Structure 1
């Protein structure tokens, strides 16, 4: 057991924290693998995407869903003997909507096997009773996450719930909790802690905080642990999954990558690794990729600490071992994120195929026809109607499939009837369509289906009543209030800047160049945070860094999108850079619409955006490229 004084224990070895889940679909057996393939001190698991709790909320309220994630329960059942024998502590957010329910089942399992393990659960994240049962009648009642950014123009559907004359029911409202409540539970002797909506990295922060006996104001150390948690929270994303550089290695290496481990030092620095007898890989590129994922600029916020990322260092420290350091921290913000979902209405899509010759004109015709046959009043009630042209037919095609592309007609509205009016317009067209129109035999996606709309908000941390609760029998729960952080630092305007090229860099940009795809020399990662898309690029070869940081400006990012369907003048581009890892990072505000389940984009979570940009052709100084480099 670590000492419980208020000073960081600088003599203790690094704590080994193994992650067993990045979302609820990761296999339950990964917990068992992390416990048995080597020695670890903690197992953490992140089972929650922003929407999967809301998807289950209504069923849980009706008694038709247990509220917790089944893969979390299955993982514990498979692993409980090893957890007990090896004294591994477990912290997971698989409790989701019902952490108490899962904790009761785990405690019953522990008791039935006669193990000496204390089970606890964290509560306080569910704020539906405080802010529900309906959505606010004014945007001032619950502030939007991006409201304080004066440079952003809210999208037309950001406050869609205010357009209804009747109250709009709230489905769920969950605050993102930090690590302090988990730490309190560990210090009181908990072996297994079941959480609901804690921030993704909070279990990892808590493990290191407890292990090293940090003080709650040891911000540099806490910030380092926050980054360690960020790096391993998405399971295989740091060991070869979703890795843009995979094509440079034998693909067999990425079939079943192992899950990650963070070895966190007393100063907050860490080494990212994995069990040696697993596939995948951990190198500076996989770690840089995951670091850039879902960032929101150069400061990473958590309920317990704000991490300054500008000087991050990522270094290879051995085979499948990468050291990460250079993180500094300061007090957390006085607010935390509140994820709110409400019924957004109904949505549907039509998928129509065209083959080869004259495709663009064919799509022009079908769009005019559909719009013509939608009743005028019905069209007024449609919130979103988009005609998205997907793919480009091959030149001189070798097969019909290579010549075929499709049109995705996306429809969303408050009422199912309004959505169905667009679908029915296709019936009116009947045999009036362009030459060669065809579609899939399965058109179930054309039937209007309900969807949940997402409203990301911020609330004061002082409004949260967080408690750690110990299950001491089927009818006995002992609870302790965990309080709030002692200090807060108000949110500052977010950094956004371009690099000012030096004279040598200006000369480099003017030097003779060659046209190549950006992905030839740059790797990247992208993802979503609500309505906003985040996107990072880095160059594995340091010689390419002066060009990348000079070339990839905010203006260049806008120009890359300006001639595509991706850009709207209401969007805002922010840019920062991380010089020591040769990376630039962008946030594009508003490009994902309302985000999550509400997005109309084909790639609604922004996962493919990085490789789209990497496929762009750019001018790179010839002196930086080997002669064999080509498009």
Structure 2
């Protein structure tokens, strides 16, 4: 077996590092790790298994000994892939350790010993700060940790975010509290000879940064290079989201090629620039459009934050340099902020969803009558006990429908409370309506969502990096561990006020205008950052860009949101002119976000195609140009 000192001899640090992704969340198939290892040559395999809610969902069961604490698909992927990982000397780092990285690392190390593989297994700890917090969320707002958006002076943090702060009521127990770690501990594990590094809650892109950092032997202050690797990591962290999954432009392509997109690879150069690609013969595609889509997904604005570096992406550029190969350049780096994100999940109480249907005529009046009846039969006292209580109409009946389903909408009652009796009053009220219902009332016979279920509420906080205690642990041949403290970033930089601006020198068009759906000429992607929704819009040509940047202002977005807009919300807007992209964040629109959002689309993924379905006015000359380019 080749020793670690001779790993990739003659290649290490002399050509771009090939870093593969095998997972974008815990539901991605375990065999994708094996596919990335066998379908071509890679130097590293990384995997992101953690949506924000994963940790909280399993925390109580793990504490009670009813859950392993790590992600099962991470274990299955490693178990399937270890033979080829050992044979090809591929280094691996994943965050599938979740709540129990030590447990997964110990299990993997035992398997490597059993099979006779000379692989060093390590894990990173320090993200779990639950022991440093109180048992319960504070009952006074002023006693809360700073909210993640508290330093943004343009944001009004809603009272809903502090719903736990109700003095005199039963306090709400904290279930998990995990800080987002950077790449330096993974890098130091590689430096000390690790072949496999298991992590808990590291930031999604941190494993990719660490791989490139180790490959190129960058210094911890090589901020431009680290920032480039951060964006490379962001581009591949969501698996097939950069190879054709969740792609707004999918309808222009052969659908058979999008059934099973291959997973991505980032070839990261010494200067931090990268080429995004995938293994030959796999499905999907890598184009400028798929890369732009992923770049703007869950983006924070023009500055992308990590615990080791800030990446400024104002000048990001993309170039198609071959089939399924896109080069990404123009990233600038700076020292990281002295804080990191802390995801806190606590017992929010219980929630219910009650769904009933209506068809065709007068659905607005039916909705109004149903709302009045439910509130009448519930009574004021029960409604006062609800933290959240909303009536939502989902859908609009088709005009001149061709079948009953196309004429059907549903009404959604959504409620959350710590008072089970108050939640139960909703179903009782609907039952009391009985035959007093609106014309054509009907519903599914499956009413399980009307039964109160416990839910976890989410609170994103700021946590000082100086309060982190990060360590790297190597699992020894006898099953014991050898541990050392890792070195944090040597320098921090105050986080400046976030940029937000409308376009400079807007273009003015003469000639006729035509009303079209925005999606006829604009692609995009949307996602969530806690309570906030982000979305990016991009076009293909310089003329289309001149129109998009001039037309799509903050005021225009607010106007187009119509009923989705609330005065407490705020909009942030930036531009990436070299890739014809404008990016927005709508602060507060997702309520508390993640597991406690009251919106049907709580993660904001469907927002983009709703927004692209809106009617806009576009110069006819631009539409003619777009039509000609498709011929």
TM-score (norm 2): 0.96
In structure 1, distance between residues paired with 2:341 and 2:139: 20
Q: 2:565 aligns with which of 561, 564, 567?
A: 567
The match for 2:266 is: 262
Deviations 1:91-118 (A, max 9, x none): 0000000000000000000000011000
The match for 2:603 is: 605
2:68 maps to 1:70: no
In structure 1, distance between residues paired with 2:43 and 2:412: 49
Per-residue deviation at 1:516?
0.7
Structure 2: 5+ residue stretches without partners = none
Q: 2:330 aligns with which of 317, 326, 330?
A: 326
Deviations 1:578-614 (A, max 9, x none): 0000000000000000000100001000000111110
Deviations 1:319-352 (A, max 9, x none): 0000000000000000000000001111111111
The match for 1:545 is: 545
The match for 2:428 is: 424
In structure 2, distance between residues paired with 1:141 and 1:628: 52
The match for 1:356 is: 360
2:454 maps to 1:456: no
In structure 2, distance between residues paired with 1:140 and 1:313: 44
Q: 2:230 aligns with which of 206, 226, 233?
A: 226
Task: Give the secondary structure class of the aligned counterpart of 1:244.
Answer: coil
Deviates more, 1:513-522 or 1:382-391: 382-391
In structure 2, distance between residues paired with 1:338 and 1:628: 45
Asked if the contact 2:456/2:595 (under 8 Å) is kept, the reply is: yes
Q: 1:154 aligns with which of 131, 143, 157?
A: 157
Per-residue deviation at 1:386?
1.2
Asked if the contact 1:208/1:264 (under 8 Å) is kept, the reply is: yes
Structure 1: 5+ residue stretches without partners = none
Where does 1:459-474 land on structure 2 (aligned, <5 Å)? 459-474=463-478
The match for 1:89 is: 91
The match for 2:513 is: 513
The match for 2:40 is: 38
Q: 1:589 to 1:353 in 2, by over 3 A?
A: same
Task: Give the secondary structure class of the aligned counterpart of 2:382.
Answer: helix
Where does 1:420-499 land on structure 2 (aligned, <5 Å)? 420-499=424-503
The match for 1:384 is: 388
Where does 1:113-132 land on structure 2 (aligned, <5 Å)? 113-132=115-134
Deviations 1:9-58 (A, max 9, x none): 99610000000000000000000000000000000000000001100000
Q: 1:168 to 1:607 in 2, by over 3 A?
A: same
Per-residue deviation at 1:140?
4.3
In structure 2, distance between residues paired with 1:368 and 1:122: 55
Asked if the contact 2:569/2:587 (under 8 Å) is kept, the reply is: yes
The match for 2:557 is: 557
Asked if the contact 2:139/2:166 (under 8 Å) is kept, the reply is: no
In structure 1, distance between residues paired with 2:5 and 2:522: 46
In structure 2, distance between residues paired with 1:128 and 1:190: 28
In structure 2, distance between residues paired with 1:11 and 1:334: 30
Asked if the contact 1:465/1:483 (under 8 Å) is kept, the reply is: no
Deviations 1:455-476 (A, max 9, x none): 0001110100100100003541
Task: Give the secondary structure class of the aligned counterpart of 2:161.
Answer: coil
Asked if the contact 1:452/1:598 (under 8 Å) is kept, the reply is: yes
2:52 maps to 1:47: no
In structure 2, distance between residues paired with 1:10 and 1:305: 24
In structure 2, distance between residues paired with 1:91 and 1:134: 33
Task: Give the secondary structure class of the aligned counterpart of 1:439.
Answer: coil
The match for 2:212 is: 208
Asked if the contact 1:46/1:234 (under 8 Å) is kept, the reply is: yes
2:397 maps to 1:399: no
Task: Give the secondary structure class of the aligned counterpart of 2:14.
Answer: coil
2:301 maps to 1:297: yes
Per-residue deviation at 1:543?
2.3
Asked if the contact 1:16/1:264 (under 8 Å) is kept, the reply is: yes
Asked if the contact 1:523/1:540 (under 8 Å) is kept, the reply is: no
TM-score (norm 1): 0.96
How many residue pairs get matched?
620
Q: 1:627 to 1:482 in 2, by over 3 A?
A: closer
In structure 1, distance between residues paired with 2:283 and 2:218: 34
2:351 maps to 1:347: yes
Per-residue deviation at 1:224?
0.1
Where does 1:124-203 land on structure 2 (aligned, <5 Å)? 124-138=126-140, 139-165=142-168, 166-203=170-207
Deviations 1:402-448 (A, max 9, x none): 11111111111122221111121101101100111000121111101
In structure 2, distance between residues paired with 1:423 and 1:452: 22
Deviations 1:550-582 (A, max 9, x none): 0000000000012x2x11110000000100000
Asked if the contact 2:106/2:479 (under 8 Å) is kept, the reply is: no
The match for 2:81 is: 79
The match for 1:102 is: 104
Deviations 1:505-544 (A, max 9, x none): 12x1x53111111001100000001000001000023320
Asked if the contact 1:10/1:266 (under 8 Å) is kept, the reply is: no
Asked if the contact 2:354/2:449 (under 8 Å) is kept, the reply is: yes
In structure 2, distance between residues paired with 1:161 and 1:410: 18
In structure 2, distance between residues paired with 1:140 and 1:130: 15
Asked if the contact 1:2/1:212 (under 8 Å) is kept, the reply is: no
Per-residue deviation at 1:629?
6.1
Task: Give the secondary structure class of the aligned counterpart of 1:174.
Answer: strand
The match for 1:523 is: 523
Deviates more, 1:213-222 or 1:150-159: 150-159
The match for 1:616 is: 614
Asked if the contact 1:571/1:589 (under 8 Å) is kept, the reply is: yes
Per-residue deviation at 1:375?
2.1
In structure 2, distance between residues paired with 1:41 and 1:340: 35
In structure 2, distance between residues paired with 1:233 and 1:475: 31
2:281 maps to 1:277: yes
Task: Give the secondary structure class of the aligned counterpart of 2:528.
Answer: strand
The match for 1:311 is: 315
Q: 1:418 to 1:87 in 2, by over 3 A?
A: same
In structure 2, distance between residues paired with 1:394 and 1:280: 33
Asked if the contact 1:3/1:213 (under 8 Å) is kept, the reply is: no
Q: 1:113 to 1:163 in 2, by over 3 A?
A: same
In structure 2, distance between residues paired with 1:574 and 1:369: 40
Q: 1:2 to 1:315 in 2, by over 3 A?
A: farther
